[in-house]
Amino acid sequence: MDQYKQIAERLKGLREALDLTTEEMAATCHLPEEKYLIYESGLEDIPVSLLQNIAHTHGVELPALLFGSEPRMSTYFVTRKGRGVSIERVKAYKYQSLAAGFTGRKADPFIVTVHPKPESEPLFLNSHAGQEFNMVLEGRLLLQVNGKDLILEEGDSIYFNSELPHGSRALDGKEVKFLAIIF
């Protein structure tokens, strides 16, 4: 919950720096003002897709909103094993940025860890502008894209239109790690 608040504070800071009202910011997010205010208050997790849209619309880096780190390098940026800036977005997902310190990125690479959860829980679906590449590094993953269930095993990869509703679930009661690159 503390991380929700931190992201919400950065979102509010961005809005204030842009000198936008909550109504104006909600409009750029295509949200009712009431929903935007819930996100900005930190009472609810903000979908990555919405943060990516805000970042692109207002010319900021997605990791600046997610992690609070400003990119610094423009030639290269090395992320050592296990050292990427990370955040647990929802209980079932942890994102680790692999390029948070590189400015002007054309893509956002993450290692995503999906924790197992009961199959009775609904799949969390999201969508965002652009395209996405996922490659399973450990475990087995159910990935749903536009209503189609796909099972991905270690070494399997998929490239898809991320504007379509998509979500994932760890299979076999085990944690799954995959590389996600959002374009």
Please report the pLDDT score of residue 102 as a whole number.
79
Looking at residue 156, its amino acid is D
DSSP string, 64-110: HHHT-----BSS-----TT-S-EEEEETTEEEEESSTTBTT-SSEEE
pTM here? 0.65
| Tokens 């780190």 belong to residue | 69
pLDDT of residue 66: 83
- Which of 20, 2, 24 has its CA nearest to residue 68? 2
The residue to which tokens 């979500």 are assigned: 167
Q: What is the mean pLDDT of each run of 10 residues along the chain (183 residues)?
A: 80 83 92 94 88 86 77 68 67 78 85 90 87 97 96 97 94 95 92
Q: What is the pLDDT of residue 85?
A: 67
**Both structure tokens of 2:** 């503390």
- How many residues appear in the chain? 183
